[in-house]
């Protein structure tokens, strides 16, 4: 378990992808990592190339550091297997949305499911 202000290994993995692709992200401690919708397709493509399953996407609005869930912007791979792809889903989401990404696989970290972040 990470300390209150350290990113988890899973967050570091996704943050490194964001840095690699110059994609904006919002990190507010171990429980919250949101990735900017603009540029998210680069992250999703990279995850696909690494054969890491994208299990879920949740959209959020940010007003400064205040996070508002968008209940109309949710992707659950179990409910929409195969089609449409996560890339197609987020392509139609508004540009100003921030996205919580949940991936499956170990991402080289030795874990099962990796939650990129959750907003409380």
Asked whether residue 120 is assigned to any structural domain, the reply reads: no
| H or E stretch at 56 | strand 54-63
Q: How far apart are CA 60 and CA 72, in angstroms?
A: 10
Asked whether residue 78 is assigned to any structural domain, the reply reads: yes
Name residues whose C-beta falls within 8 Å of residue 81's C-beta, 6 or more positions apart in sequence. Answer: none
Please check the confidence at residue 107 and state whether its pLDDT lies above 70.
Answer: no
Asked whether residue 98 is assigned to any structural domain, the reply reads: yes
User: Residue 30 belongs to what domain range?
Assistant: 9-115
Please give the tally of structural domains in the chain: 1
Task: Please give the pLDDT value at position 30.
Answer: 78
Residue 86 belongs to domain with CATH number: 3.30.190
* Nearest in space to 33 (alpha carbons), one of 49, 53, 10, 2: 10
Asked whether residue 89 is assigned to any structural domain, the reply reads: yes
Asked whether residue 56 is assigned to any structural domain, the reply reads: yes
pTM over 0.85: no
């Amino acid at each position: 378990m990470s300390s209150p202000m350290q990113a988890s290994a899973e967050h570091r993995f996704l943050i490194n992808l964001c840095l690699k692709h110059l994609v904006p992200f919002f990190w507010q401690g171990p429980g919250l990592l949101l990735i900017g919708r603009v540029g998210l397709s680069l992250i999703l493509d990279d995850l696909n190339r690494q054969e890491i399953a994208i299990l879920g996407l949740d959209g959020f609005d940010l007003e400064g550091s205040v996070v508002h869930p968008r209940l109309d912007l949710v992707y659950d791979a179990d409910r929409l297997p195969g089609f449409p792809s996560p890339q197609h889903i987020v392509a139609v989401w508004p540009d100003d949305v921030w996205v919580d990404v949940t991936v499956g696989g170990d991402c080289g970290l030795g874990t099962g499911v990796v939650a990129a972040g959750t907003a409380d």
